[in-house]
Amino acid sequence: MKEHPEIRELFAKQPVIILYIAGYVGTMWGTAIAAAPLLKENPLLWAALAYCLGGSLIGGITLLNHECGHRHLFESDLANRCAGYFADMGMLLPVSASFRKYHKLHHTTMSVYGIDTDLPTPVEQSIFKGTILKAVWLALHSLWYAFRPMIVRPGPPQVWEILAWVCTISSIALMRVIAGHWLGHAFVALSVFFGTGLHPTAAHFIVEHFVFPDNPLSVQDTNSYYGFWNLFLFNSGYHTEHHDFPEVPCNKLHELYEIAYKNDPSVSVVPSFVEAQFNFITDDSVTLKSKILRDRKGNITQAARDDFYKAQ
């Protein structure tokens, strides 16, 4: 900040993001309902549409929910939470409130065993080894992301999480009333399965914090990606930048990169989403253990790794 005080200007709230949410959610609902006849006429084409379009929309919606969780849209906390509930409509899942609670811990205690729920549990690591099982783990990533916090950081639901369930159930009912059938719900569910698993837009789950042995900067626990998929994922690839300055909204991350990171050789960069996803699955040297671990003071230590793996 001392070298680049202009970065502070990028902290401004971006209410325009609510329009992105409306566009993605509206497109998802419109496609899900309109595609219903296609399921009977050509199920494979219906599934392909869910993968190509639906999965891409889900990838974007998850990142828009991320923006709501960081309160990047409005000054009002309530308004940001309501925007998150709106984004939840695109998945018909109560994601936003729980994500916000656990994602805050990811930023404040990143890579700390027992706190950061982004870390695969020892049970996951002991089961999902080798190419086939890693592919299964990645395909079912939404399940681990949903249930892992209940194991690592269990606790009673907050009021905001209960409200998220109320909004989601209402959304499910509303789609049923509008469509007159349940086929739209099936399209959304399949899109969520695709868009959070074996899909290019889901590669950010791997790229962000896994360590790849062919990366000369693999001593770092956060990677950035500057390619094509940022257009659909609201610059989520600028992940080093995001962790250094989480106050900067998604549509300002490229400006942050131009100001402070463009000529920084210390940034760990992953050149391809699809290649990273493929390497994660096929490279035996990359496992669910391939993450840098920290102690509760934020230090990268062998003791932190020992604490994490002693349960195996």
* Cα 107 to Cα 101: distance, rounded to the nearest angstrom: 11
Average pLDDT, the chain: 91
**Residues 30-60: b if buried by 16+ CB within 10 A, e if exposed:** ebbbebbebbeeeeeebbebbbebbbbbbbb
pLDDT computed for residue 312 by the predictor: 42
Looking at residue 32, its pLDDT comes to: 98
Report the 3 state secondary structure along the chain.
CCCCHHHHHHHCCCCCHHHHHHHHHHHHHHHHHHCHHHHHHCHHHHHHHHHHHHHHHHHHHHHHHHHHHCCCCCCCHHHHHHHHHHHHHCCCCCCHHHHHHHHHHHHHCCCECCCCCCCCCHHHHHHCCHHHHHHHHHHCHHHHHHHHHHHHCCCCCCHHHHHHHHHHHHHHHHHHHHHCCCHHHHHHHHHHHHHCCCCHHHCHHHHCCCCCCCCCCCCCCCCECCCHHHHCCCCCCCHHHHHHCCCCCHHHHHHHHHHHHCCCCCCCECCCHHHHHHHHHHCCCCCCCCCCCECCCCCECHHHHHHHHCCC
Q: What is the model's pLDDT at position 109? A: 87
**Which positions ≥6 away from 301 have C-beta within 8 Å?**
294, 295
Instruction: Work out the pLDDT band at 311, boundaries 50, 70, 90.
Output: very low
Mean pLDDT for 169-194 is 97
Q: In angstroms, what CA-CA distances link 90 with 30, 95, 123, 229?
A: 10, 10, 31, 20
Q: What percent of the chain has pLDDT over 70?
A: 92
Is 307 a residue whose pLDDT tops 70?
no
Q: What is the pLDDT of residues 278-299, one digit of tens each?
A: 999 999 989 998 888 887 766 7
Write the burial class of residue 165 (CB in 10 Å: 0-12 exposed, 13-18 middle, 19+ buried): middle
The C-alpha atoms of residue 106 and residue 124 are separated, in whole angstroms, by 19
pLDDT band per the 50, 70, 90 thresholds, residue 308: very low
Q: What pLDDT score was predicted for residue 282? A: 95
| pLDDT above 60 (res 111) | yes
**223, pLDDT greater than 80:** yes
103 vs 118: CA distance, rounded Å: 9
Residue 22 has a CB neighbour count (10 Å cut-off) of: 15
pLDDT greater than 90 at residue 94: yes
* Cα separation values, 267 from 144, 225, 232, 248, Å: 29, 10, 22, 18
- Per-residue pLDDT averaged across 32-37, rounded? 97
Give the model confidence (pLDDT) of 112-162 as tens digits.
888 888 999 889 999 999 999 999 999 999 999 888 988 888 888 999 999
pLDDT in tens, 265-278: 889 899 999 999 99
Longest CA span, the chain: 62
